[in-house]
A and B are shown apart, each in its own frame.
Chain A
Amino acid sequence: MLQIKNLHATVDGNEILRGIDLEVGAGEVHAIMGPNGSGKSTLARVLAGHPDYEVTAGSVTYRGLDLLEMEPEVRACEGIFLAFQYPVEIPGVNNAYFLKAAVNSIRKYRGLPEYDAMEFLAIVKDKIKLLGMDQTLMQRPVNDGFSGGEKKRNEIFQMSVLEPTLAVLDETDSGLDIDALRVVAEGVNSLRSPERSTIVITHYQRLLNYIEPDFVHVLSEGRIVRSGGRELALELEAKGYTWIESDRSAAELAVV
């Protein structure tokens, strides 16, 4: 599904990603954890094609395609979805209108007929119910004045409508109460299939109780410093990141 090789990326001349290697197979769920500022969101944005980030070395292959060559909208049309850590407020753009434009843009790209208003409504209605979304949010401007939890739910709602092949969730669990967390997890799990993969960026083991990862990676200073199974998340929860970091500096010292 996704092969990231020796990925280096800079923003405003600062190198943030310093050689990421990661392979995500079809149907797998990978969790990425790591301290604040370690580059988790940067990795997510680079995968989504944010124009502020410059890839200086390495490659990303997505379903055999050179991902880095694609415009952000093409990546989305090819099935990549980024749930933003901080969803953007867009005053003046109706949430339903926006989502319909997104769905139809993707359908058009795939050579499928565009949905009319009725068809779109029918699809959306089910998902709203599934996610326990407040109906009125659909008729409000995108994320404008939404609470933190409403914004996150909106991301998951969009994801469930767009049905991505590779979803990257950037701290979608942060700031959620336990009910909302469950809803988010259900949204993710309902999409789980042998053809779809998910990268979950999180600081908290509790989300991983609901979305069980196949692999857990720890990102530190722009590199993946440790990978393991789901037990790694438990260990991190118990011990924090410092043991890994000190581990690593010990290893680095050994090399020198």
Chain B
Amino acid sequence: MATSTTRAAGPTPFLDYFPVLAQPEPAWLAELRAVARSRYAELGIPTSSDEDWRFTPVGDIATTGFTASTDSSAPLAEGVTRSAGELVGPSAASLVFVNGHFAPALSTRGVVPGVSVMTFAEALAERSDDLRNALGRAAKFDNASFTALNAAAFSNGAVVFVGASVEVKEPIHIVNVGGGELQPQAAHTRALVILAKGASATVVETFVSANAEDVHLTNAVSEYVLGEGASVDHYRVQLENFEAYHIGTTGIVVGRDANFRSHNVTFGGFLTRNDFTSLLDGDGGECTLNGVYIANGKRLVANHTTIDHARPHCNSHEVYKGILDDRGRGVFNGKIFVRIDAQKTDAKQTNQTLLLSDDAQLNTKPQLEIFADDVKCTHGATVGQLSADALFYLRARGIAEPEARTILVQAFIGDVLDRIRVEPLRAALGAKVPELLAFKTGCEIPLDGGPPQCR
């Protein structure tokens, strides 16, 4: 169901600078990279004439002069890695990548029988065939230039295999740290999570910056392949600094009776583009794509989701909530495809946005394409402001205005955050809202970007 458009090829930075795994790669991977590289060379960085990127101007990515270091600067990332770890609490494993390079000293891996948590480099050495079968299945690059660029250039990443019927109780945490070098860093990182029949796991992908100032680029591609009856609780937590460019692509293949639940939280980044593509590939599959984002200052957060109902009796639920303040911009594009075979589909999509400023901007677009006839599909979008009545009610009870606003904003996204099952994460993200919106702190995010300025 991919749409192919002819387009003017955009600029192609990175072409002559492709850091790859620091070890010999098997022929199949070299081949895949070569195909990806030439596809990227054809597509280039998307321009505004590309319909899918109309509201996500990424031209700066081509002109910033991003480079990729050949090694990780792990010591610099120690503090932020520790904070990232606290977000999640006890984890089954924690793999840390700094500017796309594995940082073993910051990573921990317990032993859970039936589970392997590896770096890409390790997986290539140990399970090359499994990788070969799975890589690129859920995140295709034919029409996605950043995904092509990633496939051609990814430097490392996390690979998780969960064996049949294995239940991983504690979260598997993948931490990506960007920046911290003299030059603006580009990290092309990758995650691949494969669950065999009846397996279940919680995976948290966290994205942070080494510091508040560095411009850096994250081009992350994550793939989830769920076997029959498998279940994944997925969290994508983006807390990068307000200078960062972030392109995140998540591809999901949901097998028969499998269940993928995702929470996609974007509180950071200067420009963020998230793409989620979920293929419901077996009867009775279920997919939940929830998201929460805050775009303030001059930040932009774009969420594009595609849920592809290919088989009958599948359910999908989607709730995206955004908070726009200052001159922030939000984009939501929610595609739902129901193919001709996908009878008894139940798909529900909701997009709600809270505007805290007159200067903020929102582009929202549902896109339902339904080819089966016996289906239930609903979608709705609302845009609102804080209720003046509610605000006065809280203030009349003695709650100061900034706190009252905070309470109402937290309430707006509360129902989505409440569904986060990793408790420390739920609490930590809720607590970040006032911090970000600077209601309490008296901080302001400069309109030309940069860290918050506090009184």
Q: Which residues of A contact B (CB under 8 A)?
A: 48-52, 71-73, 75-77, 81-82, 84, 87-93, 98-99, 101-103, 105-106, 109, 141-142, 158, 162
Closest to A143 in B: B393
Chain B residue numbers with a CB within 8 Å of A73 are 395-396, 398-401, 404
Are A102 and B415 interface neighbours, CB within 8 A? no
Whether A76 contacts B390 in the complex (CB less than 8 A), given A71-B401, A91-B411, A101-B403, comes out as: no
Nearest B residue to A79, CB-CB? B398
Is A93 a contact of B395 with CB atoms below 8 Å? no
- List A contacts of B388 (CB < 8 A): 51-52
Residues of B within 8 A of A90 (CB): 387, 390, 393-394, 408, 411
Classify the interface of chain B: helix, strand, loop or mixed.
helix
Q: Which of A52, A76, A103 contacts B396 (CB 8 A)?
A: A76
B395 with A72: CB separation less than 8 A: yes
Could you tell me the distance between the alpha carbons of A49 and B403 in the complex, rounded to whole angstroms?
17
With both beta carbons as reference points, the residue of chain A lying nearest to B404 in the complex is identified as: A73
Please name 9 pairs of A and B residues whose Cβ atoms are closer than 8 Å in the assembled complex, sorted by A: A73-B400, A75-B396, A76-B396, A76-B397, A77-B398, A87-B393, A90-B390, A101-B407, A105-B399
Which 6 pairs show the lowest CB-CB distances between chains A and B? A92-B411, A76-B398, A102-B397, A88-B393, A72-B395, A106-B398
**Are A93 and B411 closer than 8 Å at their CB atoms?**
yes
Confirm or deny: B452 has a beta carbon within 8 angstroms of a beta carbon on chain A. no
B397 in contact with A93 (CB, 8 Å): no
- Given A92-B411, A92-B414, A93-B411, do A162 and B398 touch, yes or no (CB 8 Å)? yes
Is there contact, CB below 8 Å, between A82 and B396?
Answer: yes
Residues of B near A89 (CB, < 8 A) are 390
Which chain B residues lie closer than 8 Å to A88 at the CB level? 387, 389-390, 392-393
* Cβ contacts under 8 Å, B395 to chain A: 49, 71-73, 76
Q: How far is the CB of A6 from chain B (nearest CB, A)?
A: 24
Would B398 and A51 count as touching, CB distance under 8 A?
Answer: no
Nearest chain-A residue to B390 (Cβ)?
Answer: A90
B interface bracket (residues with beta carbon within 8 Å of A): 20 to 34
Hey, which chain A residues are within 8 Å of B396, CB to CB? 48-49, 72-73, 75-76, 81-82, 84
B14 beta carbon closer than 8 Å to chain A: no
In the complex, whether B141 has a CB less than 8 A from a CB of chain A is no
Cβ of B397 to closest chain A Cβ, rounded Å: 4
Residue of A nearest to B411 (CB): A92
Q: What is the bound-complex CA distance between A101 and B410, given in angstroms?
A: 14
Distance in angstroms between the alpha carbons of A76 and B394 in the assembled complex: 10
Q: A88-B390, A101-B407 are in contact. List 10 more A-B contacts (CB 8 A).
A: A48-B392, A82-B396, A87-B393, A90-B411, A102-B394, A102-B398, A105-B397, A141-B411, A142-B393, A158-B397
Q: How far is the CA of A81 from the CA of B398 in the complex (A)?
A: 9
Taking beta carbons and an 8 Å cutoff, which residues of B are in contact with A? 387-390, 392-401, 403-404, 407-408, 410-412, 414-415
Q: For B392, give the chain A residue with the smallest CB separation.
A: A50
- A51 to B396 alpha-carbon distance, docked (Å): 11
CA distance A51 to B390 in the complex (A): 12
User: Are B399 and A51 in touch, CB under 8 angstroms?
Assistant: no
Q: State in angstroms the CA–CA spacing of A98 and B403 once bound together.
A: 11
Closest residue of chain B to A86 (Cβ to Cβ) is B389
| B residues less than 8 Å from A105 (CB atoms) | 397-400, 403
CB-CB nearest in chain A for B406: A101
How many angstroms between the C-alpha atoms of A192 and B392 in the bound complex? 26
Cross-chain contact A51 with B392 (CB below 8 angstroms): yes
Q: Which of chain B's residues have a CB closer than 8 A to the CB of A50?
A: 392
CB distance from B381 to the nearest CB of A (A): 18
Q: How far is the CA of A101 from the CA of B397 in the complex (A)?
A: 9
Which residues does chain A contribute within 8 Å of B407, judged by CB atoms? 93, 98, 101
Cβ contacts under 8 Å, A158 to chain B? 397
Taking CB atoms, residues of chain A closer than 8 Å to B392 are 48, 50-51, 72, 88
Contact status A84-B393, CB under 8 Å: yes
B415 surroundings in chain A (CB, below 8 A): 92
Q: In the docked arrangement, what's the CA distance between A103 and B394, Å?
A: 11
**B420 → A minimal CB distance (Å):** 15
Residue of B nearest to A99 (CB): B397
Give Cα A52–Cα B395 distance, bound, in whole angstroms: 14
A109 touches B397 (CB 8 A): no
Query: How far, in angstroms, from A103 to B388 measured CA to CA in the complex?
Result: 21
Q: Is there an interface contact between B401 and A98, defined as CB atoms closer than 8 Å?
A: no
A76 to chain B: closest residue by CB? B398
CA distance A111 to B400 in the complex (A): 15
Which residues of A are found within 8 Å of B389, using beta-carbon distances?
A: 88
Q: Name the B residues within 8 Å of A162 (CB-CB).
A: 397-398
In the complex the two chains form, what is the Cα distance from A112 to B396 in whole Å? 19
Give CA–CA (A87, B393) in the complex, Å. Answer: 8
In the bound complex, residues from chain A placing their C-beta under 8 Å from that of B399 are 73, 101-102, 105
Closest residue of B by beta carbon distance from A102: B397
B401: chain A residues within 8 A (beta carbon)? 71, 73
The interface residues of chain A lying within 8 Å CB-to-CB of B400 are: 71, 73, 105
CA distance A84 to B394 in the complex (A): 12
B397:A92 contact, CB within 8 angstroms? no
A52 to B401, CA, bound (A): 15
CA distance A89 to B397 in the complex (A): 14
Nearest-CB residue, chain B, relative to A159: B397
Give the docked Cα–Cα distance between A81 and B396 (Å).
7
Nearest Cβ distance between residue B47 and chain A, in whole angstroms? 40
A139 shortest CB reach to chain B, Å: 13
**CA of A90 to CA of B399 in the docked complex: distance in angstroms?**
14
Q: Give every chain A residue within 8 A of B412 (Cβ-Cβ).
A: 92
- Alpha-carbon separation in the docked complex, A77 to B400 (Å): 10
Output the residue of A50, A81, A105, A141 with the most chain B CB within 10 A.
Answer: A105
Alpha-carbon distance A105/B408, docked complex (angstroms): 16
Q: How far is the CB of B410 from chain A (nearest CB, A)?
A: 8
Shortest CB-to-CB span from B55 to chain A, Å, is 28
Which residues of the other chain, B, contact A51 by a CB distance below 8 angstroms?
388, 392
Closest CB of chain B to A65's CB: distance in Å? 16
CB distance from A141 to the nearest CB of B (A): 8
